[in-house]
Amino acid sequence: MATAAPSSGPGTVNLQYDGGTLALPLIKGSEGEVGIDIAQLRAKTGMITFDPGLGNTGACRSKVAFIDGEKGILRYRGYPIEELAKKSTFLEVAWLLIHGELPTKAELDTFAADVTRHTMLHENFNRFFDALPKDAHPMPVCAAAVGALATFYQQPETDQHVHDTITRLIAKMPTIAAASYKHSLGQPSIYPQNALDYASNFLHMMFATPCEHYHVDPTLARAVDLLFILHADHEQNCSTSTVRVVGSSKANLFASISAGISALWGPLHGGANQEVIEMLDRIEAEGGDVHKFVELAKSKKDHTRLMGFGHRVYKNFDPRAVILKKACGDVLTLLGIKSKQLEIAMKLEEIALADDYFISHKLYPNVDFYSGIIYKALGIPVNMFTVMFALGRLPGWIAQWIEMRHDPDTRITRPRQIYTGATCREYVPIEQRG
């Protein structure tokens, strides 16, 4: 049993166990959350904690992002996501996440110029892409290519080298992502155009061909920039935790980010926006009966879920979904696109938000509900959706990796386990086994 001792500071909680009582110090965050410091638990009691999925475990102190899932709050370095979405750019947000403060004009100009200068890939990368199957999914291609960057920049880890690696990663990720898409089409990669801004350059590399110029519509470029901002960090999620875990062994930043991309590839993490589009297609193909689908999602006899609804952390609304819903309408109106998918999505949202099941289960649209529709309107193919997520999440991964490296509490991540296998037994020679 654990009881909290009254105290003016964070205080302690007393853990009563068979062998006695242990006072465990409390740690308090700047937004009031309280954690129990169990560093001495095993040494003093011989016991460990058990928390599959780590849903109750704070694995680090962090100053990068704050989420209040009950209130629908997301802030990067203290700045509300709504304000950043309205007033900032992706490169400025990347700087903010990585350095902790908004850049001055001079800092941002230098950063943008550095990123622009490093957009090209080594020519040997052409052979790297050529070696992969022609239908290779762009996500593992990106993970492999980012890992391969480490072979081109093998200097010992110094602050300068980490600084250069950050610039190279942010600069080259769009080039790698677009090249992985071009490879899946059998088209030649398009070289970056350094006269273009970050998002426009990416769209150009995606959609230009050597024989046809591609004019980047600023509306589309702004939509991509916004999507990147909204995905830039989300504290200790699966891929970010992966980046920290890999980096805790002192693996370099390229290797850690490559592992993060792989973690993001899973359908429970970065793949949900693709499933939203597939769900909307299915509803349309089955005659567009939204009510029927909502009933299916509620039924415990059927495993169907309303994709893009619900979140492990947000239990009231996902602030990113609110921003995206408006952006989605704006983009489609500006492009003059009539989207059956958006119509179905709006109807689904309306019905589900008025339904007792969804209200009582605290299920609201999440960021993936609208992002897939915008990606489709932008002409981004479905197998690139998760890659778009990775492009946006990159600065968050980098910021968390740096924070982890500078944190004096960092140790190599090495959880324990409750062993439930066979106890000690004698080896039986193969000829004696039944």
Ligand X SMILES: CC(C)(COP(=O)(O)OP(=O)(O)OC[C@H]1O[C@@H](n2cnc3c(N)ncnc32)[C@H](O)[C@@H]1OP(=O)(O)O)[C@@H](O)C(=O)NCCC(=O)NCCS
Structure tokens, 183: 């490879």
Report the residue number, 75 or 311, with the smaller CB distance to ligand X. 311
Least spacing, CB of residue 40 vs ligand X, in Å: 31
Residues labelled catalytic? 311, 368
Reported as type and span, the H/E element at residue 198 is: helix 198-207
Angle, CA 222 vertex, CA 221 and CA 228 arms, to 5°: 90
126-131 own/partner pairs: CB under 8 Å, 24+ apart: 126/189, 129/179, 129/180, 129/183, 129/189
Least spacing, CB of residue 303 vs ligand X, in Å: 9
Q: How far apart are CA 261 and CA 184, in angstroms?
A: 18
Q: How far apart are CA 113 and CA 110, in angstroms?
A: 5
Report the residue number, 75 or 182, with the smaller CB distance to ligand X. 75
For residue 132, which amino acid is it? L
Sequence-distant (6+) residues with CB within 8 A of 275 are 267, 307, 308, 368
Q: How far is CA 26 from the centre of its chain?
A: 29
Least spacing, CB of residue 361 vs ligand X, in Å: 4
Distances from the Cα of 37 to the Cα of 9, 34, 61, 353, 396, angstroms = 14, 10, 12, 39, 26
Report the residue number, 266 or 329, with the smaller CB distance to ligand X. 266
Angle, CA 62 vertex, CA 78 and CA 69 arms, to 5°: 60
b (16+ CB within 10 A) / e for 192-206? beeebbbbbbbbbbb
Least spacing, CB of residue 312 vs ligand X, in Å: 4
Q: How far apart are CA 92 and CA 102, in angstroms?
A: 7
β-bridge partners, 28: 34
Report the residue number, 172 or 311, with the smaller CB distance to ligand X. 311
Least spacing, CB of residue 247 vs ligand X, in Å: 24
Least spacing, CB of residue 341 vs ligand X, in Å: 16
Residues engaged in binding ligand X (CB under 6 A)? 272, 297, 305-312, 361, 363, 366-368
Sequence-distant (6+) residues with CB within 8 A of 292 are 286
Q: Which residue has the tokens 């994709």?
A: 307
Report the residue number, 168 or 298, with the smaller CB distance to ligand X. 298
For residue 18, which amino acid is it? D
Residue nearest to ligand X (CB): 310
Report the residue number, 41 or 238, with the smaller CB distance to ligand X. 238
Q: Assign 3 to helix, strand or coil.
A: strand
Please spell the DSSP secondary structure of 320-366, one letter per residue: HHHHHHHHHHHHHHHHT---HHHHHHHHHHHHHHT-HHHHHTT--B-
Report the residue number, 122 or 361, with the smaller CB distance to ligand X. 361
Report the residue number, 272 or 394, with the smaller CB distance to ligand X. 272
Q: How far apart are CA 91 and CA 338, in angstroms?
A: 31
Least spacing, CB of residue 389 vs ligand X, in Å: 10
Least spacing, CB of residue 401 vs ligand X, in Å: 22
